[in-house]
Structure 1
């Protein structure tokens, strides 16, 4: 048994090194160039100060599965691509670009200049995600685990939406809410 465990540990370590080499690291300017060159409407997930690596990994997995072109986040007060993020993403962290930007607000302004609609989420909003058109160029913005999106980020949004909650709990886990919102966009887009 110990040999078997060691063999599997070596295989996981070798796969992890290979994964790091495959990952596509790009900066904000490269992301903008790629978005401008797309033959389809851009679809981006922005995460505003997400700090839990499990949430980031799950969000990246959902974003990649939904066909998003990138996941963006600010450099400060945000988790980076850790081993935990990679493990939880089940390979998605090596497939979808994760771009940590210096200034999220400035990046969102650049998206607006490209004609990308900004849709922010929050528990207290009045408009339901199901009532907003998510078919065109889209950046879906999800907030931190505790505070949601910052007020400065919210003011930049074209729409602020919520997921209807019919039970007694008042909100979903960040990664679950992200999946719901991403796949509502997918449902509308197909």
Structure 2
């Protein structure tokens, strides 16, 4: 059966035609292939003080889209995620990110623990978020070559990912719930790092 093109009238339209919304920009349908480990190491080599975000198996496209939007605003040089058990750049991610998915380098790696080890050799320090940490985010020095690590929805970081972190930090929670949504936590962590890096404290 022949499909209608968008905006083309059918017999059931009875002369009606959809009006163009002047306030909505047309969405360009384009794919954004993820970068790989080699691309990541090139970014590190070209960046004096890397500022990275690692997402360990984040699966909700709405969360990833919101995180990419925040990462763009914070000036993150790359967002890193595993290829398996994690969402990639989908149209939903691109829409929620309000375009940030097309600007923030998004790297999907085969082995996250191995990639973290390679980045350590390049001088990057890893700060992971965990409810089990003794120190809070605000107790740590977040300047210098840094990768913030956040775990998946509900389960948090996997064991090997946590073991590869140099430091663990928690967000102080004053209420009854135990943790924040991963995209909200990412925003808090990223902009605390931005505050410290800009203030030089």
Normalising by structure 1, we get a TM-score of 0.90
Please point out which of 187, 195, 198 is paired with 1:179: 187
What does residue 112 of structure 1 align with? Answer: 120
**Alpha-carbon contact 2:69-2:101 (below 8 Å) kept:** yes
* Residue in structure 2 matched with residue 34 of structure 1 by the alignment: 43
Alpha-carbon shift at residue 151 of structure 1 (Å): 1.1
Pick from 156, 164, 178 the counterpart of residue 170 of structure 1: 178
Give the number of aligned pairs.
Answer: 182
Q: 1:127 aligns with which of 135, 151, 155?
A: 135
Residue 15 of structure 1 is aligned with which of 21, 27, 31?
Answer: 27
Given that residues 57 and 89 in structure 1 are in contact (C-alpha distance below 8 angstroms), is that contact kept between their aligned partners in structure 2? yes
Root-mean-square deviation (CA, aligned residues, Å) is: 1.8
The structural deviation recorded for 1:148 is 0.4
Flag structure 2 segments of 5+ consecutive residues without an equivalent: 1-15
Q: CA 1:2–1:162 in structure 2 vs 1: closer, same or farther (change >3 Å)?
A: farther
Q: How many angstroms apart in 2 are the aligned matches of 1:142 and 1:36?
A: 24
| Residue of structure 1 equivalent to 2:5 | none
C-alpha offsets along residues 133-179 of structure 1, whole Å, 9 cap, x if unaligned?
A: 10000010000001101111111111001100011221111100000
Counterpart-to-counterpart distance in 1, 2:62 and 2:130:
20
Distance between the aligned counterparts of 1:24 and 1:165, measured in 2? 37
Distance (whole Å) between structure 1 residues aligned to residue 195 and residue 87 of structure 2? 29
Which consecutive unaligned segments of at least 5 residues does structure 1 have?
none
Q: Does 1:92 align with 2:100?
A: yes
Any idea what SS the aligned residue of 1:3 has?
coil
CA distance in 2, matches of 1:92, 1:167: 32
Provide the rounded CA distance (Å) in 2 between the counterparts of 1:24 and 1:56: 15
Query: Are the counterparts in 2 of residues 120 and 154 from structure 1 also a CA contact under 8 Å?
Result: yes
Contact 1:24 1:95 in 2 (8 A): no
Q: CA deviation at 1:117?
A: 0.1
Structure with greater Cα Rg: 2
Q: CA deviation at 1:16?
A: 2.5
2:155 is aligned with 1:140: no
Structure 1 contact 128–162 (Cα < 8 Å) conserved: yes
The match for 1:3 is: 18
